[in-house]
Structure 1
């Protein structure tokens, strides 16, 4: 009998989403518990040394840090998502790290205090995707026709842009072909779609408004225009 597994989650956390996708792709039965990071329960603080999600509870053990959790799942669960070749596996791990750096850029974008910083962060994201474009194959996935952990990492990355593009045209994917096609394929993948709740978009929009930065300012302008045209 396999050990019971519980994914401790937050509604918006992209690092949680990559674990949820990996679990679903591997067909691993598990429970999912969602917490409020603004009001962290005591039991969560007791098992999360960094006080952040995800945490994967495996029987009496609590694993933290998404990269470590992904590797644990690869070592213990069926349907491997890493390539078998050691060089390719190392390359995939490196691109997973790249995905985390893109998430840092996304955080810098939505926290930008003014329009100049917002434009600079948008340009930085475009540069990231331009670099990624040069390393992608023909698709539909990062490694061709085989879905991998790199895909599980980038599906939550691209999900942000569904909301960002409702706010304005920031040119994130201008002049690119392979990255946008990959993004569309990931958005259609059932395991990626089901990694978040149905109200994810509304929750993200509310989170962005509370940042009170330049992006929130654009959201307010857009809301005013919508009310005026109604």
Structure 2
């Protein structure tokens, strides 16, 4: 049995959970509280004490990209979520890279505004992060299809990454203006019709 460690809010953990679900793999999801006592003990699974970690028959795997590479190649998944080598794969990986970057900046923004004492918040850094997030979202919005999926008739890895990033950003108070990203909002809404997305939502 595959075991995915990590909190429900993390966009990186969720991307792996969506990937597992879309591939039809059975797995168990175990929450980890790294802002508590589990920070020290979790080093046994990841020396960096961070998530996601996927426990597999081949051992504990760390880092989202490495985990997804494993899922694309290990065993016999119902389907692969990355196109075969060629132009379409490059396009898909670029969307994933952009979504991942937006998610990383969103996590940094959340840490700065939610975890740091208010008197120690670095306002210029918050402004820069918000600008980077806004530019990244504008680029994703321009690439998001009017209907359907990045993957065409069914969602692929780009959809998993983008929805995980967008839904996470909506958990950060006051960060997103839905009116300026209508295609991304619609993509997130469409995703709720699919169990792999709906059951892994941060607010599910």
Residues 8 and 32 in structure 1, CA contact (< 8 A), matched pair in contact too: yes
Question: Which structure would you say has the larger Rg?
Answer: 1
Please name the residue that 1:195 is paired with: 200
User: TM-score by structure 2 length?
Assistant: 0.79
Please name the residue that 2:68 is paired with: 70
Between Structure 1 and Structure 2, how many residues are aligned? 193
Instruction: Quote the RMSD (CA, aligned, Å).
Output: 2.7
Partners in 2 of 1:95 and 1:81 — Cα distance?
13
1:92: Cα distance to partner? 1.5
CA shift in 2, pair 1:174/1:31, >3 Å: closer
Please name the residue that 1:94 is paired with: 94
Q: Say which SS state the counterpart of residue 134 (structure 1) adopts.
A: helix
User: TM-score by structure 1 length?
Assistant: 0.71
Q: Which runs of 5+ in 2 are unaligned?
A: 114-120
Deviations 1:126-150 (A, max 9, x none): 2212212222333321233221111
1:7 aligns with 2:12: no
Q: Which runs of 5+ in 1 are unaligned?
A: 203-230
1:59: Cα distance to partner? 2.0
Write the mapping of 1:96-175 to structure 2, written as runs, cut at 5 A.
96-110=96-110, 111-112=112-113, 113=121, 118=126, 121-164=129-172, 167-168=173-174, 172-175=177-180
Residues 8 and 200 in structure 2, CA contact (< 8 A), matched pair in contact too: no
